[in-house]
Amino acid sequence: MTLEAYADTIVPGQKRFADDRAIAGVSTGGGAVQAGALELLQWDATGIHEGLDDLVRLVNEHALAYAAERRLTPDPTVPPFVALDYPDRAALIQRLTTPGHPEKEFWVLLSLFCNMAFDSAAHLNTAQAMEDGHPGLEAMGLSMPDADGLWRFQDYSYRREFARLHPDTTSTGSPA
């Protein structure tokens, strides 16, 4: 649940069910969680799969400290990071990923893979993910590939002369 909340802070989505606590619900459509962030993070190909338990523990410790600092009273029925409202989750991640934070590299790595689940579905074959309506690729507006799973664009250019060339251009198209 903590990892889901973290992923949802990176790319937020809408709640999956009414009392969904992990997802803050600040955005419409699927976010990193719906895009498969947990599946990607837990895949050994990423290299961070073995450290996830430690990251969960650490981010909850940071959440407790953050809550204490802000005089918040976290709901004890969910992990401390999950108990934070979205703006506080985001503020904590900003703090953890700021240059100079001793754990910055871990949190950047975790954030990177959460984002990749959404923006490139790095755990899925892309053509299949498109066909299955992957929420990230769909939201970004990627077009469908051809039947063989490859992309081709017959129309790709305005075919217009838009600007003067730089006067110091060689005959082969380089700076003089």
Partner 1 sequence: MSTTAERTDVLVIGSGFGGAIAAYHLAAGGADVTVLERGPWLESKEFEHDYKLGSSYTRAFDFTVGDGMSILGGNCVGGGSVVYFAAMPRAPRFVFDRQGSIGRRMWPQAVSRDTLDPWYDRVEESLSVTRQDWNDVSYAGGLWAAACNHAGRTANPLAVAIDNTKCVNCNWMMAGCRFEAKQSLLVNYLPAAIAHGARIRPLHEVQHLSRTPEGSYRVHYNVVHDDDYRLQAGSGVIEAKIVVMAAGAGATPVILQRSEAHLGTMPRAVGRYFSGNGERLNTAIIDEAKAAELFGLDRGDGLAYAANQIGKGPTVASWDRLDGSLPEFSRYSLEQLYFPPGLGTILAQVPGATGPSWFGKEKKEILKQWTSWLTIFTMIEDDNEGVFGPPPATGNAHRISQQMLGRGNLRYEPTKNTLGAWAASDAEVKEILEKDGLAKVMPWTNDLVGAYTVHPLSSCRMGDDPHTSALDDSNELRDHPGIFVTDGSSVPGALTVNPAMTIAALAERAMPGIVRAAQSRGISVTYGAPAPDGSTSGRSRVLPLLPSARG
**What's the min distance (Å) between Cβ of 48 and partner 1?**
7
Cα distances from 128 to residues 31, 114, 120, 142, in angstroms, run 19, 20, 12, 13
Cβ distance to partner 1 smaller for residue 10 or 83: 10
151 makes contact with partner 1 (CB under 8 A):
yes
| 108-127 residues near partner 1, rule: CB under 8 A | 108-109, 111-112, 115-116, 118-127
Under DSSP, is residue 102 helix (H, G, I), strand (E, B) or coil?
Answer: coil
Mention every residue, 6+ apart, whose C-beta is less than 8 A from residue 38: 3, 4, 7
Mention every residue, 6+ apart, whose C-beta is less than 8 A from residue 154: none
Give me the 7-46 binding string for partner 1, x by CB under 8 A, dash otherwise. Answer: --xxxx-------------xx---x-----------xxxx
Taking CB under 8 A as the criterion, the residue among 50, 76, 133, 152 binding partner 1 is 152
171 makes contact with partner 1 (CB under 8 A):
yes
Residue listed under structure tokens 């937020």: 12
